[in-house]
Amino acid sequence: MAVDRNRVAAAVREILAAVGEDPDRPGLKATPQRVADAYAEFFAGVGEDASAPLAHTISVSRGPAPDTLPSGAVLLRDIRFRSVCEHHLLPFAGRAHIAYLPGEQVVGLGALPKVVDVLAARPQVQERLGEQIADTIAASLDARGVLVVLSAHHECVTMRGGRQPDAATVTIAARGEFAEPAARAEIIMLLTASAESGG
């Protein structure tokens, strides 16, 4: 579903007037259209199918390398993402780390960031975003386990209220075998080592 840029621009013009500004002054005249263009990018994932990037899978046993069956987790870390908090419409941004235990099907690693991008490009809360990423991967692949860790800075925390510029929010979503704390301990350790080394 495409963002209605004309409606967004009209609404922004009303907001500018509501805060006591003159939307026709030179510095603000183009602002409604600029915000509309930005929102078209920020919310491009509304109505999009987040599982579409996972549609093309590769058979582990009949694929290009059947002699190298994965026995452990596939981990893709430090996927940059940005989203907009649905509570204040302020941005939050950070990194996603995704791990899954393959079954018979694997997916090209480039597909995982695309899932994150689609789901992040909606009005969101971080807790739900991580759960949606995990659910999408779990439903699309025959993975034995899925783990999604998100770490992000929220402008609703850093710029308003308590104004904690260094505060980061970390959320974990786990499915299948990774729902057991002992099973995901190794993956969490790998992610912690990455963060401590500046990775």
pTM of the model: 0.89
Residues 126, 169 contacting (CB under 8 angstroms): yes
Question: What does the pLDDT read at residue 6?
Answer: 97
3-state secondary structure of 179: helix
- Measure the CA angle with vertex 159, ends 42 and 88; round to 5°: 45
- Measure the CA angle with vertex 152, ends 150 and 49; round to 5°: 55
Strands 91-101 vs 105-107: parallel, antiparallel or unpaired: unpaired
**For residue 68, which amino acid is it?**
T
Task: Note down pLDDT in tens along the chain; length 199 residues.
Answer: 689 999 999 999 999 999 999 999 999 999 999 999 999 999 999 999 999 999 998 887 676 665 666 667 889 999 999 999 999 999 999 999 999 999 888 899 999 999 999 999 999 999 999 999 999 999 999 899 999 999 999 988 888 777 778 889 999 999 999 999 888 888 888 876 655 555 4
One DSSP character per residue, 122-157 reads SEE-HHHHHHHHHHHHHHHS--SEEEEEEEEEEHHH
